[in-house]
């Protein structure tokens, strides 16, 4: 089996989806950059409702299998309580999410570096490295101003990160086109 042919076929199949996903991430990222406070609130409300929904699903599980077990009810109660608190006190939820985003960006830094060095010396690897470096800078900036700057920076930094994720996917798709 010719691996060069297989690699070309995989690259050809991936190119279109990389462009579409990259474009969608660019649009979503632009929304966060131009309207960071709205993006922060949207992110916080989304996560608050996801916690409540997850708690409701775990409650169903606890009701079916652990009706008398304290430990079986601990997780759903915590999920629902945190979700409700985030929905009732959005500033606290945004501060907590901003801190989580900083840790996510630190992990994304290492993932970006790893992907870049796995792709090296192939085309497009430098874009992945740049994406990792940007994630590191964003994480550092979040941690320097936390929690006072959370309401502005959560939406802004998620938007910037999404912009660069989209750009790196588009550039990776463009590099695959050149093969």
Q: What is the pLDDT of residue 17?
A: 87
Phi, psi of 139 (to 5 degrees): -60, -45
Looking at residue 179, its pLDDT comes to 54
- Contact at 8 Å (CB) between 134 and 164? yes
pLDDT of residue 172: 84
Distance CA(46)–CA(29), nearest Å, equals 16
Domain count, the chain: 1
Which pair of tokens denotes residue 125? 């690897």
Task: Answer yes or no: are the C-beta atoms of 151 and 40 closer than 8 Å.
Answer: yes
3-state helix, strand, coil split of the chain in percent (to 5) is 90, 0, 10
For the chain, which residues score pLDDT lower than 70? 1-11, 177-179
Residue 16 has a pLDDT of: 81
Judge residue 45's burial from the number of C-beta atoms within 10 Å of its C-beta, 0-12 exposed, 13-18 middle, 19 or more buried.
middle
pLDDT at residue 1 in the model? 53
The chain-wide mean pLDDT, for the chain, equals 88
Domain that holds residue 10: 3-177
């Amino acid at each position: 089996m010719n691996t060069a042919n297989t690699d070309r076929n995989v690259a050809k199949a991936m190119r279109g989806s990389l462009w579409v996903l990259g474009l969608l991430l660019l649009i979503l990222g632009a929304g966060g950059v131009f309207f960071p406070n709205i993006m922060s609130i949207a992110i916080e409300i989304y996560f608050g409702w996801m916690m409540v929904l997850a708690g409701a699903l775990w409650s169903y599980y606890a009701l079916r299998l652990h009706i008398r077990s304290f430990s079986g009810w601990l997780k759903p109660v915590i999920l629902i309580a945190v979700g409700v608190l985030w929905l009732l006190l959005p500033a606290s939820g945004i501060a907590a999410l901003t801190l989580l985003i900083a840790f996510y960006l630190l992990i994304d830094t290492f993932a970006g570096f790893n992907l870049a060095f796995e792709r090296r010396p192939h085309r497009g690897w430098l874009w992945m490295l740049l994406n990792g470096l940007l994630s590191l800078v964003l994480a550092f900036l979040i941690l320097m101003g936390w929690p006072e700057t959370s309401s502005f920076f959560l939406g802004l930094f998620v938007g910037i990160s999404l912009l660069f994720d989209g750009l790196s996917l588009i550039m990776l798709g463009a590099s695959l086109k050149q093969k």
